[in-house]
Chain A
């Protein structure tokens, strides 16, 4: 199997069983293919060796695999890199209260395939039989109610495109460049089309009592993960979700039922949802005091910091990749905001001295990943590239230095939405340049 990728060869990420890095000859062939593709784009041609005469490929001289009576299709066997991974930067010594990260450097559009949506669990993934699963709504309601999955699936449904991001995304890379790839720096981020029922319908059916101000979402997993949520937000646009990416949720993403609060930190969108209790005040659980709070100056902690603020990152080229020589490249990446939609993304290729607007690809949706692109002619000299997003509230994505002026960057710091630079050296090696 020869590898002739237009973009980078990720030798650092290569699993032990994978084939070795391409030979020099294969790299040259790759460069030739790249030149052709870029010429076709009309953005200039790289110098290319003359292509060799073509033979008819074996696949054109034989029958392919037959259609199976039933199957769940999987990626090509050649796509060995497209895997969700636990980070090797911060290693938990157990993998039940842990996380795995989405391979953003390989994501081709705004939707994350279900099999690589990031994971964060507190006691592993339960396997829940939908026939026995129940959702209960009680507390300050006129009539406590129980919903079976069959009942929930009978309601009219809504499907909406939203990103999902863990509050801890980027926590290893504030003041030191500890991570190598964008999967490790930003992979607690995914995006899907979520299908379910507005939470307000079910709460209205139970009937809120006067004075109801907060609700509690609780999961059916081994941690009975739980959060207090202001009822205003629950009634506004929170969904009770059973589907993502066109099918039922995957077990690791909450099957058969989860909460979904658009634009808020992922742990509020409680997975394996089994109980909603209504109250007049928050509970102050461990998960909103000792965890998921932000260190602030004077020894303080910021609490109920739900929103994931405006952020962006370049995914191509990104850490661990290698440029295929000077010439034309398309810088690609994602931008998103928990406060609205993306209004603009700026790109720097000179370490922040000069910025130019990237092209935003439609659709540009509220609280959803937006893809941006920027065509760049790399001159082969060392460079530092970064993206900076602006959202519909005119909030400008800050740098780590901006954030450090007002917050305490100490320990496991949540809510890292700082501008993330990548450096490119004269050999074309792309590296994390956060510090």
Chain B
């Protein structure tokens, strides 16, 4: 038994030196099943993701620009600064639209987000940083309305809900290209290079 173990260990060590092939034998799925069935309804409190291009997952509720401005002053201003103009630690929440073809790209929700529903998804899951997942859905909609208005992307009297938020057109919607690397071709020059 002992010698068998040693043989196995040596075989494993030999396999180990062959890059790429080293791990092949250990991935066979076992018969074991230890997951416990759970109903989707029992995952509801965790199920907060929004599919942002079409807003799938956006909950019921709504909020206005004016409501958002009040909630912002109470819960967001300490970090993000008055009127979304930036705080000590974070940049502005508006501006930068049209800056991407310059040498000073300004990244804000208005300039960067391709879909407005990202505002709901991200604000609900991560903000305020000191107390994430404490805002009501109505509050999140109102803050989305306020930030979109700061960026000039919705009017002063806009009301954001599942339908209207997903319908807001964002200027960077077509700003992305999918990974096409390797895009850089370097040569392996050994002498008299450069």
Contacts and interface: CB of A to CB of B under 8 A. Distances in A.
A145 B33 CA distance: 10
Contacts of B2: none
Given A284-B114, A346-B190, A155 B32 contact: yes
B152 interface: no
Given A284-B114, A305-B181, A354-B193, A226 B176 contact: no
A363 interface: yes
The size bracket of the interface on B is 35 or more
Contact of A144 (B40, B103, B104, B189): B40
A236 to B, nearest CB: 10
A258 interface: no
Contacts of A390: 188
B34 to A, nearest CB: 4
A284 B170 CA distance: 14
A155 B34 contact: yes
A306 B181 CA distance: 10
A201 interface: yes
A173 interface: no
Contacts of B166: none
Interface stretch (A33-41, A91-99, A248-256): A91-99
Given A93-B88, A151-B34, A399-B186, A285 B122 contact: yes
A218 B23 CA distance: 27
A298 B101 contact: yes
Given A307-B181, A411-B107, A152 B186 contact: no
Interface in A97-139: 97, 122-123, 136-138
Given A275-B46, A285-B52, A299 B189 contact: no
Nearest to B127: A223
A406 B186 CA distance: 12
A368 B115 CA distance: 37
Contacts, number: 220
Contact of B132 (A92, A94, A123, A395): A123
B20, B53, B191 — most chain A CB neighbours (10 Å): B20
B3 interface: no
Contacts of A388: 186, 188
Interface stretch (A18-26, A57-65, A286-294, A422-430): A286-294
A397 B113 contact: no
A206 B36 CA distance: 10
A16 to B, nearest CB: 26
B193 A352 contact: yes
Contact of A274 (B46, B49, B191): B46
B30 A201 contact: yes
A136 B27 contact: no
Contacts of B9: none
B178 interface: yes
B34 A154 contact: yes
B29 A366 contact: no
A283 B180 contact: no
Contacts of B89: 92-94
A340 B20 contact: yes
Given A138-B43, A226-B49, A406-B184, A290 B129 contact: no
B29 A200 contact: yes
B136 interface: no
Given A222-B132, A286-B113, A395-B182, A144 B39 contact: yes
B112 interface: yes
A198 B29 contact: yes
A374 interface: no
Nearest to A365: B19
Interface in B85-126: 88-89, 100-101, 103-105, 107, 109, 112-115, 118, 121-122, 125-126
A301 B182 CA distance: 16
Nearest to B106: A411
A165 interface: no
B187 interface: yes
Interface string B156-187: 00000000000000001001111111111111
15 contacts: A92-B89, A144-B43, A147-B35, A158-B26, A205-B35, A224-B48, A224-B126, A274-B46, A283-B52, A284-B53, A290-B113, A305-B181, A306-B179, A354-B192, A364-B17
